[in-house]
Amino acid sequence: MAPMSITKHNWTKEEIIAIYNKPLMDLLYEAATIHREQHDPNVVQVSTLLSIKTGGCPEDCGYCPQAARYHTNVEGNDLMTVSQVKAQALRAKSNGSSRVCMGAAWRNVKDGEEFDQVLEMVRTINKLDMEVCCTLGMLTENQAKRLAEAGLYAYNHNLDTSEDYYKEVISTRGFEDRLNTIENVRKTNVTVCSGGIIGMGESIEDRAGMLVALSTLNPQPESVPINALVAVEGTPMADEKPVEIWEMIRMVATTRIVMPETQVRLSAGRTEMSREGQAMCFFAGANSIFAGDKLLTTPNPDVNEDMKMFETLGLVAQKPFIKIMQPKTVEAVDSEYQSLGEKPKWTRPGHTIERNLEASTKGK
């Protein structure tokens, strides 16, 4: 592996658009070259995403079937127990995953019994020698420190899209809340996982704008998921056209070039991609995937299919704690950080998004 290059933190939107629009062969060559300088091209990190609390979310994200206001077929479930999560983590480990990412359909973390239960889940999975990631909505500095102390390896908080287009997707929280949460995570030793979704009706300028926001963070996120919208009936984005594979390849390659050291995660939308399409994404710099039959509530390729694809392509699953050492777990009784019963004032912009409003009234 070649010596590490100096990561650039002052990308402009114009520079990123120019990269995205390069002739495809030139774009692939540049991205693959950078990928090989920074990473082993035949190693892919495999995560399992587990919905520990499904549905009933108060937010109005236009892409999400878990929003309580939309009429989708998602069945709401209460928070899973620690033993249920442990059983799922062991299953994921036996299927080749090195990380479990736990997602709860919350607007933000609230101090109390449920958060204490999540902290216990983090401790339990870390003791299985697996990386633990959580995506629980906005969180305060003290909450981030409590997660870190429990042994959390990564926190996922996607920017979703550019700051400009964000207000066309979500009206119940502000873009600044996303950045503030990432900043709170950065005050700990927990790594940051943050990316977005393409295919929501955004422009190439918006895709570039999202990459500007991520790449100008210092340090850049350790993991960047690139999702293709899975249009779900009942959501405001149900009628969006599927993203073409070439758009995914270009987005992955551009992400790799502007964030050379980051693990670029091929996330939602893989069920619609051929093996050849996914192989092109790996060549372009993707080196992380979610395995398992579901991504929270949307379909995902079968684990056995993924393993067959890995075999065909000569790929191997990354072992845990390769990039950063395993965090220590501090038991609840020895915890330095206690619940503060915080009630932070996260923003509620309050503007109206017509298609979100229409979807919430349809079917009533």
Show Cβ contacts of residue 91 under 8 Å, excluding neighbours closer than 6 positions: none
Whether 127 contacts 193, CB under 8 Å: no
**DSSP label at residue 322:** S
Whether 255 contacts 264, CB under 8 Å: yes
Which residue is listed with tokens 């692939």?
28
Catalytic residue among 193, 250, 256, 270: 193
- Catalytic site includes residue 355: no
Burial of 247 (0-12, 13-18, 19+ CB in 10 A): middle
Whether 51 contacts 297, CB under 8 Å: yes
Closest by CA to 210, choosing from 225, 222, 231, 229, is: 225
Catalytic residue among 99, 101, 146, 178: 101
**DSSP label at residue 353:** -
Q: How far apart are CA 163 and CA 213, in angstroms?
A: 8
Show Cβ contacts of residue 60 under 8 Å, excluding neighbours closer than 6 positions: 67, 69, 170, 171, 172, 353, 356, 360
Element (H, E) at 141: helix 141-150
- Catalytic site includes residue 91: no
- What count of residues does the chain have? 364
- Catalytic site includes residue 64: yes
- Catalytic site includes residue 134: no
Catalytic residue among 57, 173, 186, 256: 57
Catalytic residue among 178, 265, 270, 281: 265
- Catalytic site includes residue 101: yes
204-207 long-range contacts, CB within 8 A, separation 24+: 204/17, 204/20, 204/21, 205/13, 205/17, 205/162, 206/161, 206/162, 206/164, 206/165, 207/20, 207/161, 207/162, 207/251, 207/254
Catalytic residue among 99, 133, 256, 270: 133
- Catalytic site includes residue 281: no
Angle between helices 13-20 and 245-258 (to 10 degrees): 130
**DSSP notation for 270-297:** GGGS-HHHHHHHHHTTEEEEEESSEETT
Catalytic positions are 57, 61, 64, 101, 133, 193, 265
